[in-house]
Amino acid sequence: MKSLFYGRVPLEAASALIQFQKKGITQELLHNLKYRGQQRIGTFFGKWLGEELKDINPYTTVDMVIPVPLHKRRLRERGYNQVSTFGKEIANALQVPFKEDVLLRVSQTGSQVFKERLTRFGSDHIFTIQKNEEIQNKHILIVDDIVTTGATLENCAKVILEKSNAKISFVTIAIA
């Protein structure tokens, strides 16, 4: 997964747990997690990946886990962020804080699923940092459910790097 971001954003590490395939079990699981409230799927994947990462460099130097945030309107509609349970379990395995109040989504972009590859990029000013002092000189692990083009994770990382002297790593449940 790290090669997907080569030349776009400096990363310490990047990993995905499983390969995404349309009309496969991965799509069904992620759909259930995201739209049907089955947060135990995120818990399961977070425990699984957390156990794998806790003994792997450079994940052993992670200071904080941050989920890709939902816009407050989407969060109200859905009632939860589908990557929160996943991220909490990874943070627990790495014995670091899980912070949902540091990176915020300030504009609602709508679902990325039906967007063309190039239109996913160039979405500046989607995210902002709150509590900037908490990320200074830290190794931040950003978690998401799936990576396709990498635009969302890249935008998150750029905002964090712009505001801090942080190191960034990514993990996702799946990679398309």
What was the pLDDT predicted at 110? 58
Q: Domain residues for 27?
A: 2-175
Average pLDDT over residues 119-135: 77
34-40 long-range Cβ contacts below 8 angstroms, 24+ apart: 34/78, 34/82, 34/145, 35/78, 37/79, 37/80, 39/80, 39/82, 39/84, 39/85, 40/85
Cα separation, 127 vs 107, whole angstroms: 7
What was the pLDDT predicted at 131? 87
Cα dihedral value 44, 66, 127, 34, nearest 10: 10
**CATH number, domain containing residue 34:** 3.40.50.2020
What was the pLDDT predicted at 98? 98
Cα separation, 19 vs 113, whole angstroms: 16
Supply the DSSP symbol for 127: E
Q: How many residues are listed for the chain in this entry?
A: 176
Quickly state the pLDDT bin for 120 (edges 50, 70, 90): very low
Q: What does the pLDDT look like over 19-60, one tens digit per residue?
A: 998 999 999 999 999 999 999 999 999 999 999 999 999 999
pTM flag (> 0.75): yes
In the chain, the number of structural domains is: 1
